[in-house]
């Protein structure tokens, strides 16, 4: 090996450092210290580059960089601060592992040494920091007798923060060398800082979007989506609030169209499992062979077309809730398989031999008379008792006509949002709706209102657009005081004042005194409203 090759080998040991180079450098005119510093800095740069390429964890990476600056380059008390959205400078990281007071310090532009660098966007080098009037030592980190160097950290050309440190020697003759070196470190750190800021911003955006989605889902599928002020519905709301707290199996019973799925949504999204999935399956929609695969999943090759393994609804709902609609429609053979899952909390995929254990809350629903099905042998008695832990009976719409005005307003807002216009319902039409039995319950009412909205040119729905059999209308019985659904609708704050007054006048036969009583007004008050709202009085 030639002398040159030998020296090159000595200068590049396995760990990548440059030790040995300085010993061969001749000292001329007192330049040994500068040469030594440069090669120390080269070693430090190498160590810093290794750390920065090793991890995307910004805090761990920068703290390790500050440790290397102290141990290898003699730059102590390292500190990194980052510009906040309000323009202030927040101390985020120090060389110490103790994340206490220094990391909660904030500087405004022009405040202290950090604020000076923030304001001027240029380095600041002080031979003895305690002698400078700008030194306020908010962090309590710095030794007043030592120099300090603070340099900007720029990301994509813009000021993103400040890197500061103290050389460990008083009256350091190589202070400018230290400053240039710290600027080089700041350039390296800036790339990591830029990436970190982007990741944190995206993380915050995703968290905000997630929280907004959760609030939206909870609003859409919580109690707000279930309309009803009747005594029967108040009982249901109270039962839902109670049962939501626990993992109890719930059986929701009621006629088709009474809102069983809405109740299941409300139970899940007001329960401790709200952060988990809500998985739904209509048991009547699939034949038995597909129902088993859909619920329990299957392994590859378990049947024709099973080209890969697949999770079933039970696995998908792990940690959350599984809603089984139309549970009364499953066959006796499948009931036995379902019973085992409910009892043991485990199952096998179709074509598999490995037991899978899940943590799933079951909410089932049916419109069938399960007691009669049990008596006939169509439904397993043990499965019925396993499901019927907490039964909720949803009343049909004909048993709560006082809720019809509120439900109509809710549905009109929903339909109006879809049609992108405002829909209104006059009182004769509302009266007809309240006198119909609605065998299809809320679903039939929604279809009726949507059909009427389509037929309405201007968004106003009157009785001629309500397509229900006149022979099916019940005679209007005098309601108890304070429970008239029409009057309640007139007092609904979601309706404009002009509409309320017109509706009251129509109900009162355009007699102002009678309309005033319906609205809890005096005759003088309603006369004033009629004049100011430019309501044209009709002569009856």
For the chain, the first-to-last Cα distance in angstroms comes to 120
pLDDT grade for 105, boundaries at 50, 70 and 90:
confident
Q: Kindly report the CA angle at 246 between 242 and 247, in degrees rounded to 5?
A: 135
Asked if the domains 24-199 and 223-395 are classified in one and the same CATH topology, the answer is no
Cα(212)–Cα(223) distance, integer angstroms: 17
Residues 6 or more apart from 384 whose CB is under 8 A from it?
A: 370, 371, 374
Going by C-alpha positions, the residue among 490, 492, 535, 534 that lies closest to residue 515 is: 490
Contact 114, 164 (CB under 8 A): yes
- Here the tokens at position 297 are 């999943």
Task: Parse the chain into domains and list their residue ranges.
Answer: 24-199, 223-395, 398-481, 496-540
Q: Which residue has the higher pLDDT, 292 or 480?
A: 292
Over residues 431-440, the mean pLDDT reads: 89
Which residues are paired to 90 by β-bridges? Answer: 82, 106
Residues 6 or more apart from 224 whose CB is under 8 A from it?
A: none
Q: What is the per-residue pLDDT across 358-395, written as a single tens digit (0 to 9) for each?
A: 999 999 999 999 999 999 999 999 999 999 999 999 99
Q: What is the per-residue pLDDT across 290-329, written as a single tens digit (0 to 9) for each?
A: 888 889 988 877 776 666 788 889 999 999 999 999 999 9
Map tokens 């199996």 to a residue: 249
pTM for the full model?
0.54
- Here the tokens at position 119 are 């304001």
The domain made up of 398-481 is a member of CATH 2.60.300.12: no
Number of neighbouring beta carbons within 10 Å of residue 483: 11
Over residues 236-253, the mean pLDDT reads: 92
- Here the tokens at position 60 are 């761990």
CATH for 223-395 (3.90.25.10, 3.30.70.60, 3.40.50.300, 2.70.150.10)? 3.40.50.300
Cα(315)–Cα(293) distance, integer angstroms: 12
Residue 289 main-chain phi, psi, to 5 deg: -65, -35
- Please identify, in words, the CATH class of the domain defined by 24-199: alpha beta
Looking at every residue in the chain, the average pLDDT score rounds to 81
The answer to whether residue 422 scores a pLDDT higher than 70 is: yes
- Looking at domain 496-540, its CATH superfamily turns out to be Homeodomain-like (1.10.10.60)
Map tokens 């500050």 to a residue: 66
């Amino acid at each position: 090996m030639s002398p040159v090759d030998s020296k090159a080998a000595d200068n590049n040991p396995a760990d990548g450092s440059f030790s040995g180079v300085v010993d061969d450098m001749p000292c001329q005119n007192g330049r040994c210290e500068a040469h030594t510093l440069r090669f120390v800095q080269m070693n430090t740069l190498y160590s810093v580059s290794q750390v920065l390429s090793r991890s995307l964890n910004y805090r761990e990476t920068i703290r390790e960089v500050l440790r290397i600056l102290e141990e290898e380059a003699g730059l102590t008390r390292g500190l990194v601060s980052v510009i906040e959205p309000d323009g202030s400078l927040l101390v985020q990281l120090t060389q110490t592992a103790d994340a206490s007071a220094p990391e909660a310090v904030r500087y405004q532009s022009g405040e202290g040494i950090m604020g000076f660098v923030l304001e001027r966007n240029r380095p600041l080098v002080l031979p003895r920091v305690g002698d400078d009037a700008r030194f306020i030592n908010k962090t309590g980190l710095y030794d007043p007798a030592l120099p300090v160097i603070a340099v900007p950290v720029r990301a994509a050309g813009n000021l993103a923060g400040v890197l500061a440190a103290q050389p460990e020697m008083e009256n350091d003759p190589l202070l400018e060398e230290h400053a240039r070196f710290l600027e080089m470190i700041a350039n390296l750190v800036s790339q990591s800082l830029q990436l970190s800021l982007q990741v944190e911003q995206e993380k915050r955006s995703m968290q905000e979007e997630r929280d907004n989605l959760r609030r939206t889902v909870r609003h859409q599928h919580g109690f707000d989506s279930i309309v009803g002020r009747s005594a029967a519905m108040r009982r249901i709301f109270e039962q839902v609030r109670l049962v939501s707290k626990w993992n109890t199996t719930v059986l929701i019973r009621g006629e088709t169209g009474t809102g069983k799925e809405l109740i299941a949504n409300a139970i899940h999204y007001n329960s401790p499992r709200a952060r988990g999935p809500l998985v739904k399956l209509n048991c009547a929609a699939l034949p038995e062979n597909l129902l088993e695969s859909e619920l329990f999943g299957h392994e590859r090759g378990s049947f024709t077309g099973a080209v890969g393994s697949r999770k079933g609804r039970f696995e998908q709902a792990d940690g959350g809730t599984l809603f089984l609609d139309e549970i009364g429609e499953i066959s006796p053979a499948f009931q036995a398989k379902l019973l085992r899952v409910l009892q043991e909390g485990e199952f096998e995929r179709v074509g598999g031999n490995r037991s899978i254990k899940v943590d799933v809350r079951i909410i089932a629903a049916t419109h069938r008379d399960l007691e009669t099905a049990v008596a006939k042998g169509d439904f397993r008695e043990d499965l019925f008792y396993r499901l019927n832990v907490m039964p909720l009976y949803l009343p049909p719409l004909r048993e709560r006509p006082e809720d019809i005005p509120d439900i109509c307003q809710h549905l009109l807002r929903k339909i109006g949002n879809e049609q992108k216009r405002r829909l209104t319902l006059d009182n004769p039409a509302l009266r007809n709706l309240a006198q119909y039995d609605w065998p299809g319950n809320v679903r039939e009412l929604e279809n009726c209102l949507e059909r009427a909205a389509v037929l309405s040119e201007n968004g106003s729905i009157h009785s001629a657009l309500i397509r229900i059999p006149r022979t099916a209308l019940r005679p209007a019985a005098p309601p108890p005081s304070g429970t008239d659904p029409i009057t309640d609708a007139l007092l609904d704050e979601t309706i404009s004042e002009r509409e309320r007054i017109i509706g009251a006048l129509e109900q009162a036969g355009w007699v102002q005194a009678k309309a005033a009583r319906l609205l809890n007004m005096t005759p003088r008050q309603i006369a004033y409203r009629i004049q100011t709202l430019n309501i044209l009085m009709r002569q009856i």
